[in-house]
Amino acid sequence: MPLITWENKFSVGVKELDNQHKKLIELINELYDSMRAGHGKDVLKQILNDLLEYTKYHFDTEEKYFIKYNYYGKTEHMKEHAELKEKVMDLKQKVDGGKAVISNEILQFLKNWLSTHIMESDKRYSSFFNDNGLN
C-alpha cells in the first residue's frame, strides 16, 4: 500500500507539472517501500538523493514559469521551495553522516508537505497559468 496516492484533486491543470507531482509521489512511495522492506542505508540514501534532485528539478520548472509569466505569487512560493530544500538538504546531510535515519516521521513530513503544498500553494497558480496558455 503506497504512502500517498495521486488523486485528481491534486491536479493543477498543467500537464507537465501534474506529471512532475506524480513523479514526486512515486519517489516518496519508493522511499517508503524501501524502508518498510528493510533495505540498507545505501539504497535509502540513493532514493533520498533522487528525491532531492527531482524536487529541485520540479521547483526549477515551476519557478521558470513564475518568471516567464510574471506570476504575482512567485516571491512567497519560491520562499516555500527554498525552505523545503533547506530542510531536506539538512536531513540528507544527517542521514549521510549517520546522525539520522529515514523514519516514518520523516516520510509523513514529506507526504504532508507535498500534499499541502500542492493543494494550497500550487493550486493558486492553476488558473493564472491556464489563463496564460499553459495547460
Residue where the block lists cell 518568471: 67
Residue 134 φ/ψ region, left for φ over 0, alpha for ψ in the -120 to 50 degree band, beta for the rest: beta
Q: How far is CA 69 from CA 44, 77, 82, in A?
A: 38, 14, 20
Domain assignments of the chain as residue spans, ordered by start = 13-126
pLDDT of residue 12: 97
Measuring CA to CA, which residue among 47, 24, 27 is closest to residue 102? 47
Give every residue of the chain whose pLDDT is below 50, as ranges.
Answer: none
pLDDT of residue 11: 97
Where helices occur in 1-135 by DSSP H, the ranges are 15-36, 41-68, 74-96, 104-116, 123-131
| The architecture CATH gives domain 13-126 | Up-down Bundle (1.20)
Distance CA 133, CA 135 (A): 6
Distance CA 113, CA 31 (A): 15
pLDDT of residue 39: 83
Q: What is the pTM of this model?
A: 0.93
Q: How far is CA 124 from CA 13, 63, 121, in A?
A: 11, 14, 6
pLDDT of residue 73: 96
pLDDT of residue 35: 86
